[in-house]
Structure 1
Amino acid sequence: MPSKTDEPPSYEDALQQPKYADFPAPPHHGFPLPPPPSYSPSPDPPCPGVYGISRTSSGFYPSAAPTTVPTLSAGVPSSNTGDMEDFLSTQWESTSIRHAFIRKVYLTLAAQLAVTFSVVAVFIFVEPVQKFVQIYSGVYWASFGIFVVVYCILICCKEPRRRFPWNLLLLGVFTLALSYMAGTISSYYETKAVFVAMGVTAVICVAVTLFCFQTKVDFTSCGGLLCIVSVLLVVLGIVTAVVLSFKYVPWLHMLYAAIGAIVHTLFLVYNTQLLMGNRQLALSPEEYIYGALSLYIDVVDIFLFILQISGAADLD
């Protein structure tokens, strides 16, 4: 058990008699120590320190918070600007390609309509031709068969780009066949009724085109509904043909023609929006033949249905 003498000395005794004589005693200050400096940075210009951290003259490091507010482009590498430019250029190229595609479709459609209405004009103004197509109805049914066969080829057969002239040739044959059919039907009506049908068809086509390029309604999502409506139109046409074979009912004929014109106007809206490319469905820029074909059939069908209405009105 340790004795009392082994106990450590008090603080005052240790100051008076240090254990180690060689160790100097701490100095005694007669005035209080100054307070430590604050952390506020000195207005003096900073000196460069280690790792890029500045040190003030007071010996302490200032706050590392930035003195400026970072912008949206802060910290973005310069390569991102090029990526954005590439994205914008790609968008511009796709838009220009779509516009070129639309121009090509409408130029092809204009050529087809010019051929069709030229044939119609010949059939209604040249009397020998008008009598020929009315007497020899077999030519009409032959043109109808050519129309169906070529239409199936153009729809079902996807040919590569290098063979597009063959598609253009088939499109020309298809245009001549449908033009002959339209001219044969027009030869049975008065010239006034034909011109009225042409004018109304032109107004409808212009109105539909302006509507499609201005509206936000997406008609490309209504393909199933249009398919059902077209089937109902075919059934209504069969019923109308059976009824009219027994007794002529003018209002029934005009009703069917009006419904047919409305249905094909909706198809014209649908096919026009397929060209635009900013809807749920869109045509590829390489499918300009299919686009022109669809619009051409819609326009000719609208003309034929309007012709039936105007012709029935002239009979009254």
Structure 2
Amino acid sequence: MWRQPYRKTDVESESQPLYPMMLESPELRWAFIRKIYAIVTIQLLLTIAVAAAVVSVHPIATFIVSTWSGLALYIVLVITQLIVLCPLYYYHQRHPVNFILLGIFTVSLAFLIGLSCAFTSGKVILESVILTTVVVVSLTLYTFWAARRGHDLSFRGPFLTGAVTVLILFSLIQIFFPLEKISVMIYGCVASIIFCGYIIYDTDNLIKRYSYDEYIWASVSLYLDVLNLFLTLLNVFRGAGS
């Protein structure tokens, strides 16, 4: 009697450890991972919707860049996302306050993303979105593959922290000493590589180190990694096209 070849079911594949020496239940960790990516997906969709509205309604961006009231609103948005992180840290395990604060953080940041895209050509935005998507998916698959084979990627943390500190200080210096177009592109390429490293590092933490109560912080980390990569690529393509 003919029998169908044996194939691993989803349940069986999820019962396999994500990495060697894994002590916790793989099913629980997979559920946690799905929860994180669901939250990040919603954040990104909300960001796209808000940013698209800002780009489509031109008077919004014009008001921000051409009036003192708009400048004040811009400063408020920047400060809001920084202030919200404090109560978000304190209430990150309290539902639904944590999701409300996460929503405020996402919308305020999405508005700033829209302003960054408002004066950029659609071709440059599309190129940045496509490349960001390809890079994020590729690095995510690589990190899961590396974790399954026992590679430890946690050593990247101190190097990435030092690198992003240098980037922040360098960007502050640019306010007083603006760079030329080629230098801006080089800066953007270096920043893109650093945020690619952060995607690998935070995904590795998602697989191995985040506790089940830290789903908010895990979501914020991955969300910021994706947005920072997009913004740096946007600057690179913008400089190349100008």
Task: Quickly name the TM-score band, shorter chain normalised.
Answer: 0.7 to 0.9
Alpha-carbon contact 2:84-2:101 (below 8 Å) kept: yes
- Measured in 2, the distance between the counterparts of 1:197 and 1:288 equals 27
Question: Structure 1 regions of 5+ residues with no counterpart?
Answer: 1-87
- RMSD, aligned CA: 2.0
Alpha-carbon contact 2:188-2:236 (below 8 Å) kept: yes
- Measured in 2, the distance between the counterparts of 1:133 and 1:118 equals 19
- Measured in 1, the distance between the counterparts of 2:165 and 2:23 equals 41
- Measured in 2, the distance between the counterparts of 1:94 and 1:229 equals 35
- Measured in 2, the distance between the counterparts of 1:166 and 1:97 equals 24
Q: 1:158: how far off?
A: 5.4
Pick from 178, 185, 188 the counterpart of residue 257 of structure 1: 188
Q: Which residue is equivalent to 1:232?
A: 166
Percent of pairs identical after alignment? Answer: 28
Determine which structure has the larger helix proportion and give its number: 2
Question: Structure 2 regions of 5+ residues with no counterpart?
Answer: 1-16
What SS is found at the alignment partner of 1:154?
Answer: helix
Q: 1:123: how far off?
A: 2.0
Pick from 215, 226, 229 the counterpart of residue 299 of structure 1: 226
- Measured in 1, the distance between the counterparts of 2:154 and 2:176 equals 34
1:133-175 Cα distance to aligned partner (Å, 9 max, x none): 33323222111000111123324x255x4x2211111000000
Instruction: Find the structure with the greater CA-based Rg.
Output: 1
- Measured in 2, the distance between the counterparts of 1:255 and 1:237 equals 13
The residue identity in structure 1 corresponding to 2:171 is G
- Measured in 1, the distance between the counterparts of 2:175 and 2:183 equals 10
1:36-70 Cα distance to aligned partner (Å, 9 max, x none): xxxxxxxxxxxxxxxxxxxxxxxxxxxxxxxxxxx
Q: Which residue is equivalent to 1:61?
A: none
The residue identity in structure 2 corresponding to 1:151 is L
1:61-90 Cα distance to aligned partner (Å, 9 max, x none): xxxxxxxxxxxxxxxxxxxxxxxxxxx9xx
- Measured in 2, the distance between the counterparts of 1:192 and 1:137 equals 27
1:289-309 Cα distance to aligned partner (Å, 9 max, x none): 111110001111111111111
Pick from 40, 63, 66 the counterpart of residue 132 of structure 1: 63
Figure out how many residues of one structure are paired with residues of the other and give that number. Answer: 216
1:183-220 Cα distance to aligned partner (Å, 9 max, x none): 11111211211111111111111011011011143222
1:219 aligns with 2:134: no
- Measured in 2, the distance between the counterparts of 1:240 and 1:270 equals 28
Q: Which residue is equivalent to 2:3?
A: none
TM-score (norm 2): 0.83
Alpha-carbon contact 2:191-2:232 (below 8 Å) kept: yes
What SS is found at the alignment partner of 2:212?
Answer: coil
Q: Which residue is equivalent to 2:14?
A: none
Q: 1:235: how far off?
A: 2.2
Moved over 4 A (4+): none
